[in-house]
């Protein structure tokens, strides 16, 4: 056996992996010889009946005690190749240990000492438009007031940005993969995204389709010759990242059946292969359908040589992430599936009626080896036996049985006020330490990270419960032939043929304590509509819902035990993004609309909320072009605002098929103050198109008196005062033909 993996200290305890034994399944005799040589005795299979999410259950975090428990946990969720599963069979073959990988990449260069920026060179510049000022969000462009750091394609550009007349590309770093975001801190830059690296994956026995991500930290003490100070590769696809002080918190999401050599998520630090210990993996007492692993890694960007910390959570995907100064909140949506409820009850009703032979056959299915017949395949086979029995009955017997099943399904579903829930996991972070603190759930789903906010330890969250049709509910207005001819008494009609009942969408607001238990709620807000945007500011929530007109709500959250609606305003259109102008004024970015709800072009609104009982729209700008659009509606980092400079910049795009003179593709620059919004002009990027019929401007920022707008192939520099062109910087990999810019 090879040497065990190296000991890596408290923050990097290693779960020893195994070298893959390649088992080409050529003939049954080969498999039997292998089993005999390893003295493996197939264990009886397990069968777990369908469980449903219980919102009242305590979601206390649990940890795995061994690799065997970890493997057994995920094994019960494996799906067969022919039964709707994602990822096929979860293999738990034990492997030989390995310690070092990918020697061809060579050792990482030694980082230089951290050198802070010269304070005399600090300038007035715009940071990333973060939800929480103290929590930096990863983005495709950053500036320190002197340089701009940005990515296009596989190239990382370092640009001397100020003064504008002297701006130029200082250096380019060509990456093997497509980066997605970056952070900058002093003389260190971290860039990260997804990676393929088939040779590395092949050596550790991982499937290429399951995904890995990378994070590389560069020493920028010499901007013309940046050096890679540390390289990481993490199992799972990149999800999101945040940075507080010097620590990056990078989150990846991985499917469990991607881990063939190692029973837990792997990490490649330079050339050393490690994995997250099983007792650092947290799961929850919920009925998972298709569990995944959300892996959280804490890395000190200014000290790449320091140990990293990693924790992993078993989740049902990862839909959104909100981070306060102290906690990460990971959320996903869980549904009560009416079809699954009916399937389970069908089994419960029919199984006692089966013949002894059928009952025995079902027991054989349940106890079959899980490696041969997956839980998903077992469920399929059992339901086939059930269906065969139902099909063998006479028509009137089938109708009676279906009525019995439908009645029990209805009784079960009536126990649920809601059929969808947002599951919330709270992870405390401090100076690189990570600890899962609590879990909880609230009815409905959220639309974005702005649906959540933490204030003095209280989590506030706004959700929408979708419209649904309940197949097992009676309609409030039954059809006329459901009554006896000589009586107004309703006849007994099999529930299975009753028309479905429609439940309108509604919206909810909750406050939760430190343990994520619900303190107070407002439910059933704006029935028939759905939330389009939310913004928590201090003790208030500003919320926009939409169906035909835009109800702009204001809520008081100063007492988490008593949520109050303060006022609302109904106007045509809606806002998809809300941003504070000051404590009494809110900016809204969205769409104009007709009185009957037909959407039109871009709309920028200014709401006065000084009288919370009577909020009002005090100013607006609406595009004349009905097909105009802006990515700032759904990407808040594309929104640039400075109250002091009276500056608002958002990407803008319109293509007019009938009149090309009405088309534009660039950045819309507004003058904005407490009373008005005025479009000053458009910074054109149409000459740098890389793809047709889509917005080109990705981000904008300012340094002192200069405005910088970035599209994939171009960085434009203009004067904020009069929008005159200062300089264009072409963003292209070294050696490639320039893109003409006019």
State pLDDT tens for residues 619-660. 999 999 888 999 999 999 999 999 999 999 999 999 877 766
Q: Are 621 and 587 in contact (CB under 8 A)?
A: no
**Structural tokens at position 420:** 């969808």
Average pLDDT over residues 324-329: 97
User: Phi and psi for 409 in degrees, rounded to 5?
Assistant: -65, -45
pLDDT of residue 41: 38
d(CA 59, CA 40): 36
Residue 251's DSSP bridge partners are: 240, 296
**Structural tokens at position 671:** 């003058």
Mean pLDDT (the chain) is: 82
Ordered domains of the chain (ranges, CATH) = 337-415 (no CATH), 422-474+500-621 (2.130.10.10), 623-742 (no CATH)
Q: Are 214 and 200 in contact (CB under 8 A)?
A: no
* C-alpha separations of 137 from 245, 261, 499, 525, 576 in Å: 12, 34, 49, 31, 20
Give the residue with greater pLDDT, 268 vs 181.
Answer: 181
395: CB partners within 8 A, 6+ apart:
none
State the residue for tokens 């700008």: 621
d(CA 155, CA 174): 5
d(CA 649, CA 679): 10
**137 CB-side CA count, 13 A:** 20
| Whole-prediction pTM | 0.84
**Structural tokens at position 346:** 């069908």
Give the residue with greater pLDDT, 738 vs 314.
Answer: 314
Q: In residues, how long is the chain?
A: 742
Give the residue with greater pLDDT, 93 vs 121.
Answer: 121
Would you call 695 helix, strand, or coil by DSSP?
A: coil
Please check the confidence at residue 16 and state whether its pLDDT lies above 70: no
Neighbours of 618 (CB within 10 A): 15
CA nearest 171: which of 232, 217, 230, 221? 221
Neighbours of 117 (CB within 10 A): 13
Neighbours of 737 (CB within 10 A): 6
d(CA 670, CA 654): 17
Residue-wise pLDDT for 20-72, tens only, equals: 333 333 333 333 333 333 333 345 556 777 777 777 778 889 999 888 888 88
User: Phi and psi for 168 in degrees, rounded to 5?
Assistant: -165, 160
Residue-wise pLDDT for 582-628, tens only, equals: 999 999 999 987 777 678 899 999 999 999 999 999 999 999 988 89
Please check the confidence at residue 239 and state whether its pLDDT lies above 80: yes
Q: Are 366 and 45 in contact (CB under 8 A)?
A: yes
The CA R_g of the chain, rounded to the nearest whole Å, is 29
pLDDT confidence band for 206 (50 / 70 / 90) = low
**∠ CA 90-96-98, rounded to 5°:** 105
* C-alpha separations of 600 from 138, 419, 625, 661 in Å: 32, 33, 8, 19
d(CA 462, CA 447): 9
H helical segments located in 44-173: 67-75
d(CA 286, CA 335): 12
Would you call 544 helix, strand, or coil by DSSP?
A: strand
Would you call 105 helix, strand, or coil by DSSP?
A: helix
H helical segments located in 447-514: none
Among the listed ranges 26-40, 132-146, 153-167, 544-558, which one has the minimum average pLDDT value? 26-40
pLDDT of residue 495: 41
Please check the confidence at residue 737 and state whether its pLDDT lies above 80: no
pLDDT confidence band for 463 (50 / 70 / 90) = very high
């Amino acid at each position: 056996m090879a040497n065990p993996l190296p000991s890596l200290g408290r923050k990097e305890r290693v779960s020893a992996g195994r070298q893959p034994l390649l088992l080409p399944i050529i003939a049954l005799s080969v498999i039997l010889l292998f089993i005999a040589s390893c003295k493996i005795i197939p264990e009886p299979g397990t069968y777990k009946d369908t469980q449903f999410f219980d919102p009242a259950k305590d979601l206390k975090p649990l940890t795995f005690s061994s690799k065997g428990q970890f493997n057994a946990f995920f094994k019960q969720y494996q799906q067969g190749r022919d039964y709707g599963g994602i990822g096929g069979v979860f293999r738990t073959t034990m492997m030989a240990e390995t310690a070092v990988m990918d020697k061809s990449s060579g050792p990482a260069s030694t980082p230089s000492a951290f050198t802070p920026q010269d304070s005399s060179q600090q300038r007035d510049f715009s940071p990333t438009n973060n939800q929480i000022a103290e929590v930096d969000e990863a983005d495709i462009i950053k500036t320190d007031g002197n340089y701009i750091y940005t990515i296009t394609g596989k190239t990382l550009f370092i640009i001397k940005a100020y003064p504008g007349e002297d701006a130029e590309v200082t250096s380019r770093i060509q990456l093997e993969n497509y980066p997605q975001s970056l952070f900058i801190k002093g003389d260190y830059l971290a860039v990260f995204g997804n990676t393929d690296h088939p040779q590395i994956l092949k050596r550790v026995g991982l499937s290429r389709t399951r995904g890995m991500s990378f994070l590389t930290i560069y020493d920028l003490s010499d901007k013309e010759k940046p050096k890679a100070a540390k390289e990481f590769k993490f199992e799972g696809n990149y999800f999101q990242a945040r940075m507080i002080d010097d620590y990056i918190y990078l989150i990846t999401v991985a499917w469990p059946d991607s881990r063939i050599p190692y029973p837990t998520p792997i990490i490649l630090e330079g050339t050393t292969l490690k994995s997250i210990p099983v007792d650092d993996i947290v799961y929850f007492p919920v009925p998972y359908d298709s569990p995944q692993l959300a892996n959280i890694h804490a890395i000190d960007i200014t000290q790449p040589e320091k140990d990293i910390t990693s924790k992993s959570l078993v989740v049902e995907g990862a839909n959104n992430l909100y981070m306060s100064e102290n906690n990460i909140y990971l959320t996903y949506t869980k549904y009560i599936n009416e079809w699954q409820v009916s399937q389970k009850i069908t089994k419960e009703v029919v199984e006692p009626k089966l013949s002894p032979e059928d009952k025995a056959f079902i027991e054989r299915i349940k106890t079959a080896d899980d490696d041969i017949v997956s839980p998903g395949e077992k469920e399929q086979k059992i339901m086939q036996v059930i269906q065969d029995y139902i099909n063998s009955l006479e028509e009137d017997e089938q109708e009676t049985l279906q009525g019995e099943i439908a009645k029990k399904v209805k009784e079960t579903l009536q126990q649920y006020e809601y059929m969808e829930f947002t599951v919330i996991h709270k992870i405390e972070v401090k100076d690189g330490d990570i600890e899962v603190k609590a879990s909880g759930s609230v009815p409905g789903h959220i639309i974005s990270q702005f649906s959540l906010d933490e204030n003095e330890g209280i989590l506030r969250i706004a959700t929408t419960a979708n419209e649904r049709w309940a197949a097992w509910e009676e309609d409030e207005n039954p059809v006329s032939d459901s009554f006896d001819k000589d009586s107004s008494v309703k006849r007994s009609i099999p529930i299975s043929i009753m028309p479905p009942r429609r439940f309108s969408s509604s919206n909810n607001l909750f406050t939760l304590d430190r343990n994520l238990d619900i303190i107070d709620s407002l439910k059933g807000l704006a029935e028939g509509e759905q939330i389009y945007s939310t913004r928590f500011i201090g003790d208030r929530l500003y919320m926009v819902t939409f169906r035909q007109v835009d109800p702009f709500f204001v809520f008081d959250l100063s007492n988490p035990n008593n949520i109050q609606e303060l006022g609302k305003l109904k106007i045509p259109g809606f806002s998809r993004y809300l941003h504070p102008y000051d404590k009494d004024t809110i900016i809204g970015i969205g769409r104009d609309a007709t009185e009957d709800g037909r959407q039109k072009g871009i709309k920028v609104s200014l709401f006065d909320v000084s009288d919370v009982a009577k909020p009002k729209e005090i100013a607006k700008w609406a595009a004349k072009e009905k097909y105009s659009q802006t990515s700032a509606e759904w990407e808040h980092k594309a929104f640039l605002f400075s109250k002091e400079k009276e500056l608002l910049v958002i990407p803008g795009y319109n293509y007019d098929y009938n009149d090309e003179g009405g088309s534009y593709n660039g950045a819309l620059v507004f003058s904005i103050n407490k009373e008005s919004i005025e479009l000053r002009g458009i910074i054109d990027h149409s000459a740098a198109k890389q793809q047709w019929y889509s917005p080109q401007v990705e981000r904008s920022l300012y340094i002192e008196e200069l405005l910088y707008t970035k599209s994939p192939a171009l960085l434009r520099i203009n004067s904020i005062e009069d929008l005159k062109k200062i300089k264009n910087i072409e963003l292209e990999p070294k050696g490639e033909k320039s893109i003409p810019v006019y």
